[in-house]
Amino acid sequence: MPMKILRFLLAPLSVLFFCLPLAAQHDPERNAVRYIASGAFDKALAELEKAEHPGSETHYVRMLIALGEDQTDQAVMHAGAALDAGLPFERLVAGPRILLAPLYATDQYQQWARKNSSLRMLHGPMLGAIRSDSASLWLRTAKEASVQVRVLDAESGTLISTSEKMAANVESDFTAVVKLTGLKEDHAYRYEIQIDGEPAPAQNTRFRTYPKKGTAASFAVGFGGGAGFVPKWEFMWDTVLESRPAAFLMLGDNVYIDDPTHPLTNHYCYYRRQSRPEWRRFTATTAIYSIYDDHDFGLNDCVPGAEIEKPTWKRTVWNIFRQNWVNASYGGGENHPGCWQDFTIGDVHFILLDGRYYRSREGEPSMLGPAQKKWLLETLATSKGTFKVLASPVPWTAGVKPGSKDTWDGYAKEREEIFSFLETKKINGLFLVAADRHRTDLRVTSRTGGYDLYELESSRLTNRHTHDVVKTPGLLWGYNKTCSFALMRFDTTIADPTVTFEAMTIDGEKMHTHQLRLSQLTHK
């Protein structure tokens, strides 16, 4: 491909916005792709020299550089080295396809393609949006195709339903979301994927629908953030899977893009995670709910402002985010883009916030923006959940990031508005969860007008970088020695319902635990 055309396709959008150009997650390959996206290939090569353990991913990025410099023979060599080092062939098919077009035209690639001629599904499946009578399934296909899913009873194998056919095409980046319907509450199923009428094999294709909304139940939900790409720690997803959560909340810094103006970098970061077998085993059977934070949406600690279309990259980043997850909804949709959402499991209500799209410090600082705040207060006021889990991409508790305005400390008036609303409306059973700080800890904030507010924070799923446990008033425990995630075990079937918080390591060790009773989260 001529350099002139390549640079036109990858040209950065010109924008100024209030962000600090820092990135806590050491990632030479990702950083090199950012240079490739702007045509700075020498800088990309220099960045790759910083890789601690060069492997398949390093070869893959060297292939991108060679393609950018019209060195197709070198690109073929690096592609072969990447495959020999364990890169899934799916990575080459996924692309980015415009950039890899010269590779696709080579005889060597055609040989690889013939050996993988049965490949129909590149990424996924990813399960999500589970209800008592339905669920959704996301995947990415190898080419434009029709996707259909058969749902069978997990025990008897009886066919329960067949989904509508959904198209995966260029406009959707070859992704499709298929809705599975006609299901019974609290029941085990398995599914079979068909692409253009042919089976597409996958592991762990079992799931369980949720209990009927409002029904008492016992189940676990996990969450975390800080999932930088570190191959040696990708087994985290197998560890989380072993705990069998009914859902997992990805609360931001999920893939570490740090490059909002270049779709190339966005796609690269999603594709490499989605190609990992550990991730695919995990998401095939665990319902995933996702929100973004600064490193996935903009740059470190970004404050993009309150306007919907400014900076101009906002909607593009949002659209790419939607293409790569399986949420039931995304903020207020096209009119009010975002990632806020809510869902229930039995009688537990989960409310997830968008802390970036409308974040502004002009005038009265706001993290949420008016449309999301209105939605949040209405959702809280009408919630029937025995427990209400209010999730933020950044911590709520004062002082957890000393001197920073990036947490809710920078939006203290809006935070107090929300907390006071809980007390004015006598909203019981609520606790807070968050990500952003690279550790897992539990804190409690005393309130004079209502019950104490507990906050469970976890954001070092696979990150190299670690944050110290800051000893604020109300710190109950903290853990930062290794990668970790948080578990919430609910039991609302008993007279005084409970939620038990657990800090779990990447090796499956339980480091801390704390149980809360509903009676502790009730206005007197």
What tokens appear for 426 in the block?
Answer: 């006598």
pLDDT tier at 26 (50, 70, 90 boundaries)? confident
Per-residue pLDDT of 450-476, as tens digits, reads: 999 999 999 999 999 999 999 999 999
Tell me the C-alpha distance between 16 and 312, whole Å.
Answer: 10
CB-CB contact of 220 with 245 (8 Å)? yes
**Cβ burial, residue 49 (10 Å; 0-12/13-18/19+):** exposed
Per-residue pLDDT of 122-159, as tens digits, reads: 999 999 999 999 999 999 999 999 999 999 999 999 99
Tell me the C-alpha distance between 124 and 426, whole Å.
Answer: 42
The one-character DSSP state at 370 is H
**Cβ burial, residue 461 (10 Å; 0-12/13-18/19+):** buried
pLDDT at 511: 98
Is pLDDT at 413 greater than 60 in this prediction? Answer: yes
CATH level 3 topology of 121-207: Immunoglobulin-like (2.60.40)
**Nearest Cα residue to 271 out of 24, 44, 96, 127:** 96
What tokens appear for 380 in the block?
Answer: 């809280």
Per-residue pLDDT of 154-211, as tens digits, reads: 999 999 999 999 999 999 999 999 999 999 999 999 999 999 999 999 999 999 999 9
pLDDT at 349: 98
CB-CB contact of 434 with 395 (8 Å)? yes
pLDDT at 154: 98
SS3 59: helix
Q: What is the mean pLDDT of residues 486-504?
A: 98
Q: What rounded mean pLDDT belongs to the chain?
A: 95
SS3 307: coil
CATH level 3 topology of 212-521: Purple Acid Phosphatase; chain A, domain 2 (3.60.21)
pLDDT at 25: 63
Model pTM? 0.95
Helices and strands (H and E) in the chain: how many = 15, 22
Per-residue pLDDT of 201-250, as tens digits, reads: 999 999 999 999 999 999 999 999 999 999 999 999 999 999 999 999 99
**Cβ burial, residue 281 (10 Å; 0-12/13-18/19+):** middle
Pairing of the two strands 188-195 and 145-153:
antiparallel
The one-character DSSP state at 321 is H
